[in-house]
Structure 1
């Protein structure tokens, strides 16, 4: 087969692709596709010849592009190319060309891999060959010529040749099993990988580490992994010690993947592994102004901060993964040495991530942007340690470090000490509750620290403990916390004042009136003074905290109601503002005003509700920007007004429901595909806001349906139609769930209003669609998504409390049996596979099993509800459970119990401490 006649065409295509002009590129792409349809064999062969052998004398970039096009086009179905012209199903060029042509292309690729001397070209060839091998394996067609070349290259005197076998094993880890007649024994494969780990070339060693990762995760069986894995992991760490820092950072990434999937491979060599990793976490002296404090036994590194982060981040992740997945082993290693040293090293990291200059922090007005840039790794790592281990081992060590750091002159040390306590509050819940007095005594000096960032962080810690310690702070130390917060509400630094208000928000969310009654007046006064600062972020926080305080105080808040409601009216009186921060403040005023109404009750709020609603209607009519922050606040605010006014909210429904229906009817464009996955293009994330708003709209409609009941009847029909349609929403599980929860509320509306009294078939139609959705959801394999459908069905039947039609019961049972069979078989398969699963698979499957548990529970409740309404007098008269239906329903319930007994049990390792 001659390909010379195509060289000119392919050369022009390659040149057009490399050029910057868009139009020639599109024309070249269309031309190449036409050629591939007309002459698939010749096009693939010439691309291989140009890329792998340099036929035509093209430049390096052209050759690399030819390999990319070969990899991309060979296995992609093309419209107009068919294996069978009668069926008209698009086929990939690889699948329509002759086997002899495939062999020629593979010979060309293998020749290139064997002889090419340019390093860039070799990497391109390796990627192309790995993809070719992978696609051949999918088609159960071994790529026999490649493995001998791969094995031959391992003995080449050229390092760039020895690099390629490990690149291929990284990209196609089953290559030496799928593409050979006699698979290589695991021990021989391990010897090959170890040779790569010991290679004189550092580039080859790093690539061999990547190959070790891929082979152990995807390329061997569970028993083979147990045979060779631990030794390969140990050799990888021995290799790591001798790599220069820039390459060490790349070599650590494969070990991160292994630690999170197969932590057991690390356990037999913890001493050399942890002895290699822990020193990498010691921060550098360059660019950090590292204080003289002894955070750990390890000396600081002499590298730039960025270089250190590239190494420290993956090293930290490896240790954290091992702690989370093997907590007992890690906490017992050398009497907790790894955990104790990690605490000091993470505190050191927290210190060096901040510069000494706090002027930008003091002057910023954009707290959202600052929050996005805040260095969270140290705090998140401490939190993960605490969640995995508890406080028995962690808290005493942390407390010793905190006590010492609080005495340091460098404010960053004192900041890091307090941040450390904040970070472990949730994970060390029991221990912190028991020792809370000592912890507060240890930290209390920070309330008067000379540095504002330390005072700020102390407030952060109080807020965190208020939220995480299940009310222990409020119950036992309310006086202390509120006195400190009140004092810092008058701090000279605005950031501190605002954060004191934020801390109070957390406190009041878990507080009872007896905790704060005597402080209520000074707190409200302090928050109003904060609002008068005219600093927008402080005003926003003041309103948010006032709303939370009012919610907790309820009727006790009555003396302050008038002043704060009038403040909200003033803020809302200018609906035409354009500044985003000012709009957000108006949203906060809507939130505050409506929560005030709930707190003091309908009698006091009633008159103001009309005025507040009129202001909200005016603002609602002014909104034209899709991303106006007031939109979300409006939805919640209207719900709050409804909750406060109850049935008296009816006149306002006409202003609220039409907008909600419009928002809930939103349909994304085609950039979301039919599976709910966002396509990988520039518009992939463009719909997140709109979908969130759609879900919020459904939730608001549900609130109104249940709250207003019969008075919601004018909107019953459009809401019911919309909710039933969205039960099959293809792009969002959350939308499906929100729609499912609206249905029972709407049935309550129909029942109370009697609008369907003369048309009972409407009820049957709703249940028919609910059953249809359950059947469809099961048919497409969304077993885990049936939970909300069954719950909607059960709640709906409970609302109606009428016998369920026998024919629909039969459909429900038929679908249910299919669900039970699917889950039972899935669980039996998991039980058989569990001994061979890696950690990440176990985690995924256990999560799926939890979802199945919820589905089974809701299915059982649905069946029990059918029996309950069938046993009613009306059900008995209609024979709703006759003809064996009762027995079938009970049999399905019994089957649910049996299926629940099956499944994975986990690895049995419990949370330490």
Structure 2
């Protein structure tokens, strides 16, 4: 209290403490230093340090306290952490608060404080330095007020480091800190670098959600002001004539540092904060920008929309009509740059821009947008647009033969993608497209057209695969002759044709099948040679003077590892990755070690994808008698080599996306090897599953929405782990139950409401597999298996029942399917039968139950009711339940369940089920209507069931009175009547 009383009155009146204490100064100084050494209470020690700093600021410049600095150094060197902390706190506060200290000293003090805060082990210790924060901010603002931006930039860099490592340290004074940074970011009079650093601080703070979740979202006006600053930066773009001509690949012509900063930070901010936070702010600001007259504002809006799309996609898709309207309006912009940006945003509209001959770059970008669109399309979605797309691409490329090569290459790449996505539907365009593609392949021989020729190879091979061998065979011979000629010629090391040709050979092999065998002697040697390429690596010092020169070399990728800079020739790695993707036979010793090839992720990815193909090839060769004497023991040796190697690589893999691919590949390998797997291998797989689940134990429910929006790869890991467990259960059935028992404690938490939908769905699917595949356990003489099975039903069935009404359609589908499985195979299900029917009825009776997102759950619920009717008829009122079930038919979304249900219906009619037909056959018209609909949709009924349905209708024609049959017939629509007449007449 004495320290507070001594300091505060003088501080409030802005009077130096030292000036008013001259008579007692010597005694006071000694007492203060002694108190610092003796005081144990941290709160009191801090107040004493505050007073020492205040006193020192007045007398140190006049050398009035010579004992202080030696005392501080003594404390810093002490073994007492309390004294070390007190010394640093006192010194830093004095330096940062003093007007007589130079800016260099203040920056050094700021650096010291931030470094020390980062070193402290817990928040309680860090909070002792909270009172230094205002002085830290004053160091920054005073530098700016004095026009010393270089010092301010140093301070900003230190604050950025603090925001990234210890954001919680800023929490108590977050509004003031963020407010100061926003003022700097908004001050257009300051240097670009200064404003960029302030923005970097704010974005870094937003990205630090793992250390401070939700902190910045709660700040008033933070998002609005920062988003406005970034939008303003996107306006800073020059109307560079070089951009229009598309003479070079430089798409960034005219873009300023401000523009690039705005783009990058919008992308990061959207990913960090998610769509629920960003989209409302974005739409509000877009509205104001799009009514402005300046083209830069329109351009900024469209670019910003593209930048936030990754982080906000789930929310934006809910407002798709608004997004589409905004983009479409910009297709009519008088400025080419705005049109170019609009094409980036919406690939579906890109065909309208391919006529923009006056602006080749817009044409090329339109072709690129078609590529992006078609890559994610099913043939059913793409086919209605093929006439327009193919004709535009063909016309665009033709007009560019003597013009811009960039446009022609883009058109070829897009055409290849369209062919790949549309498959057999592309046959209609083959005769128009293929002659043109062969012309390029044979005539584009200049060095300047190497990439164009490579693109033609890619397009030809993908078109060939799409239309099939019969259509492609004659042209394939000519193409193969050209490729063989190129294979035998000497090509330069950087020739892109090498990589494209490797891929073309593989596609042609897949397309032509046995007809490709004569070419194997030509293809295989260079393919193996490429797969075994050694990485071209150079190692230099991290601070080598050649850094700038290396960074400009686009063929080199640089990695800093400790004090070394590792340069890797990427073209070599890309060729290696391509070759690995092409090889599937005799290459296990080459590819398995590449699962841990950490120089290049594409090599690892290719090696992963090859593992199941290797095993599949070996199994097929054994089954078809082409394995040169090898039997199943060879397949077991191969699986014993591959699966453990993949598990080991999975444990060390740093890339989440590759982890997903590895889990998927492991599952395929397990399906191929089947019960060749021994208990030791099963044990290693189970242990790895435990590890993957343990990695998710730190899930934060507050972050659930962000994980749902942004971390879909993590959900895919859960999905693939569930698939692996399902495969093991299906393969080993009840003998896997002891292993499953070990995993149950890891799976149970995934059922609770706080978990995101994917883990919950996966947990239910695993239970479904156990219920379906281990149905022999209750009949088993193995008491342990019987007890485990009973335990699982008792434990998990209540969760399954509750999940039937989950808000997620995927979870509901898994749950209602599980009830169907239990109804069919579960002898322990009877006690929950009525509750199960009630839950299923809720799913079926929902007003929007048949909408696309709910349709799969609906079909599975109807199927489950059918199984209850079939296997538990004595426990229900069938006269009520069966007509209600019939009224839900036919099913059309889940074709697997649809076939099961329609076969059930057929069997009931064949045995003249009284409850189904109803009194006086009153439900027969409905049954015939279902038959008619099912028979006109071949994919929802097996051929065998369809034949039985037709026989039933023929029998009814013979047995029913004509008036009754006419009455039934009148309930069918003309299309159904015609379809049935046609089937009955054959």
Which bracket does the TM-score occupy, shorter chain normalised? 0.5 to 0.7
Q: Does the Cα contact within 8 Å between 2:581 and 2:610 map onto a contact in 1?
A: yes
Q: 1:684-695 maps to which residues of 2 (within 5 A)?
A: 684-695=566-577
Determine if contact 2:270/2:312 at 8 Å carries over to the other structure.
yes
The structure-2 alpha-carbon separation of the partners of 1:536 and 1:749, relative to structure 1 and needing over 3 Å to count, comes to same
Partners of 2:488 and 2:62 lie apart in 1 by 73
- Describe the SS at the equivalent of 2:219: helix
1:245 is aligned to 149
Map of 1:828-843 to 2, 5 A cutoff? none
CA displacement at 1:277 relative to structure 2: 1.0
Contact 2:445–2:453 under 8 Å retained in 1: no
Cα deviation digits, residues 368-426 of structure 1 (max 9, x gap): 57489785331232233333444555444433433433444443222112212222234
Q: Secondary structure at the match of 1:450?
A: coil
Q: Distance in 2 between matches of 1:371 and 1:253?
A: 29
Map residues 23-422 of structure 1 onto 2, 5 A cutoff: 180-181=79-80, 183-184=82-83, 186=85, 189-199=88-98, 200-225=101-126, 227-228=127-128, 230-243=130-143, 244-282=148-186, 300-303=188-191, 305=192, 307-308=193-194, 311-321=197-207, 328-334=214-220, 337-352=221-236, 354-355=237-238, 357-367=239-249, 370=252, 375-391=259-275, 394-422=278-306
Whether the 8 Å contact between 1:502 and 1:545 is mirrored in structure 2 is yes
Q: 1:764: Cα distance to partner?
A: 4.2
**C-alpha distance in 1 between matches for 2:167 and 2:695:** 26
- Determine the structure 2 residue equivalent to 1:58: none
CA contact 2:663–2:717 (8 Å) conserved in 1: no
Match of 2:415 in 1: 546
Q: Is the 8 A contact 2:503 2:582 kept in 1?
A: yes
Give the deviation of 1:862 after TM superposition. 7.7
Distance in structure 2 (CA, Å) of the matches to 1:900 and 1:762: 35
Q: What is the rounded CA distance, in whole Å, between the counterparts of 2:712 and 2:112 in structure 1?
A: 29
1:529 deviates by 4.1
* Residue equivalent to 1:78: none
Match of 1:57 in 2: none
Residue aligning to 2:39: none
- Distance in structure 2 (CA, Å) of the matches to 1:541 and 1:782: 34
Structure 2 SS opposite 1:532: coil
What is the CA distance between 1:346 and its match in structure 2? Answer: 0.7
Q: SS where residue 268 of structure 1 aligns?
A: helix
Whether the 8 Å CA contact 2:690–2:743 is kept in 1: the answer is no
Distance in 1 of aligned mates of 2:599 and 2:269: 36
**Residue in 2 aligned with 1:810?**
680
TM-score (norm 2): 0.57
Cα deviation digits, residues 332-385 of structure 1 (max 9, x gap): 322xx1111122211111112x22x42121234222574897853312322333
1:578-630 CA-partner distances (Å, limit 9, x unpaired): 23xx2111111111112222333322212212222222232333353333222
In the alignment, the residues of structure 2 paired with residue 217 and residue 909 of structure 1 have an alpha-carbon distance, to the nearest angstrom, of 33
Could you tell me which of 590, 605, 611 is aligned with 2:478? 611
CA–CA separation in structure 1 for the residues paired with 2:598 and 2:286: 51
Alpha-carbon spacing, 1:223–1:615, altered in 2? closer, same or farther (3 Å): farther
Q: CA deviation at 1:567?
A: 2.0
- Give distance in 2, aligned partners of 1:686 and 1:623: 24
Distance in 1 (CA, whole Å) between partners of 2:314 and 2:575 is 39
Q: Taking structure 1 as reference, are residues 660 and 736 closer, same or farther at Cα in structure 2, changes over 3 Å only?
A: same
Question: Hey, what's the Cα distance between the residues in 2 that align with 1:547 and 1:634?
Answer: 15
Confirm whether residue 584 of structure 1 aligns to residue 456 of structure 2.
Answer: no
Q: Is the 1:527–1:546 Cα contact (8 Å) retained in structure 2?
A: no
Aligned to 1:39: none
For residues 246 and 772 of structure 1, what CA distance do their matches in structure 2 show? Answer: 56
**Preserved CA contact (<8 Å) 2:206 2:273:** no
Distance 1:332 1:500 in 2: 40
Please state whether the residue corresponding to 2:346 is helix, strand or coil: helix
- Could you report, residue by residue, the CA deviation over 1:490-548 in whole angstroms, capped at 9, with x for unpaired residues? 34222222222223333333451355256346524542344335211111111122223
Root-mean-square deviation over aligned CA pairs: 4.8
- 1:728 Cα deviation from its structure 2 partner: 6.1
**2:341 counterpart residue number:** 457
| Unmatched tracts of structure 2, length 5 or more | 1-55, 541-557, 702-706, 758-986
Shift of the 431–724 alpha-carbon distance from structure 1 to 2, 3 Å rule, reads: closer
Distance 1:444 1:772 in 2: 53
How many aligned residue pairs are there?
A: 655
Q: Which residue of the partner structure matches residue 751 of structure 1?
A: 619
1:537 to 1:824, Cα distance in 2 relative to 1, 3 A? closer
* 2:157–2:197 CA contact under 8 A, matched in 1: no
The answer on whether the counterparts of 1:278 and 1:342 sit within 8 Å (CA) in structure 2 is yes
Q: Pick the aligned partner of 1:448 from 332, 343, 362.
A: 332
Q: Which residue of 2 aligns with 1:136?
A: none
CA contact (8 A) 2:663 2:721 kept: no
2:203–2:269: 8 Å Cα contact kept in structure 1? no
Name the SS for the 1:686 alignment partner. Answer: strand
CA distance in structure 2 between the partners assigned to 1:670 and 1:517 by the alignment: 46
Counterparts of 1:517 and 1:848, CA distance in 2: 32
Quick one: structure 1 residues 680 and 638, their matched pair in 2 at CA, closer, same or farther if it must change by over 3 Å? farther
**Alpha-carbon distance between aligned partners in 1 of 2:382 and 2:634, rounded to the nearest angstrom:** 48
On the 8 A contact 2:639/2:673 being kept in 1, the answer is no
Which of 436, 445, 460 does residue 593 from structure 1 map onto? 460
Instruction: Tell me the TM-score normalized by structure 1.
Output: 0.61
> Which residue in the other structure is 2:637 paired with?
765
Structure 1 pair 311–865 and aligned structure 2 pair: CA distance change class (3 A): same
2:742 to 881, 895, 903: 895
Partners of 1:770 and 1:524 in 2: how far apart? 44
- 2:845 counterpart residue number: none
Report the secondary structure of 2:228's partner residue: helix
Deviation larger for 587-596 or 681-690: 681-690
Q: Does the Cα contact within 8 Å between 2:393 and 2:411 map onto a contact in 1?
A: no
Q: How does 1:644-723 map to 2 (within 5 A)?
A: 644-668=511-535, 684-702=566-584, 716-717=585-586, 719-723=587-591
Cα offset for 1:781? Answer: 11
What's the offset of the Cα at 1:207? Answer: 2.2
SS in 2 for 1:365: coil
Measured in 2, the distance between the counterparts of 1:414 and 1:851 equals 38
Seen in structure 2, the aligned counterparts of structure 1 residues 431 and 796 have a Cα distance that, compared at 3 Å, is: closer
**Is the Cα contact below 8 Å between 2:163 and 2:204 reproduced in 1?**
yes
The higher radius of gyration belongs to 2
Matched position secondary structure for 1:685: strand
The answer to whether the 8 A contact 2:78-2:84 is kept is no
Decide whether aligned partners of structure 1 residues 351 and 781 sit closer, same or farther in structure 2, where only a CA change above 3 A counts: closer
Of the structure 1 ranges 633-642 and 547-556, higher mean CA displacement relative to structure 2 is found in: 547-556
Please tell me whether the aligned partners of residues 252 and 311 of structure 1 are also in contact (alpha carbons under 8 angstroms): yes
Q: Is the 8 A contact 1:249 1:314 kept in 2?
A: no
782-791 vs 447-456, greater mean Cα deviation: 782-791
Determine the C-alpha separation between the residues in 1 that align with 2:274 and 2:164: 20
Shift of 1:720: 2.9
1:563 to 432, 446, 467: 432
Q: Are the counterparts in 2 of residues 209 and 251 from structure 1 also a CA contact under 8 Å?
A: yes
- Out of 620, 638, 641, the position equivalent to 2:487 is 620
Q: Does 1:494 align with 2:380?
A: no
Once the two structures are TM-superposed, the CA of residue 309 in structure 1 deviates from its matched residue by: 5.2
Gaps of 5+ in 1: 1-152, 170-174, 283-298, 467-480, 703-715, 836-841, 872-885
Answer yes or no: is the 8 Å Cα contact 1:324–1:388 preserved in 2. Answer: no
Does structure 2 retain, via aligned residues, the 8 Å contact 1:196–1:205?
A: yes
Q: Quote how far apart the aligned CAs of 1:698 are.
A: 1.9
Query: CA-to-partner distance for each residue in 1:47-71, whole Å, 9 max, x for gaps?
Result: xxxxxxxxxxxxxxxxxxxxxxxxx
Question: Contact conserved, 2:611 with 2:665, CA < 8 A, in 1?
Answer: yes
Compare relative contact order (CA 8 Å, sep 6+) and give the higher one, 1 or 2. Answer: 1
Q: Quick check: 1:177–1:183 contact (8 Å CA) kept in 2?
A: no
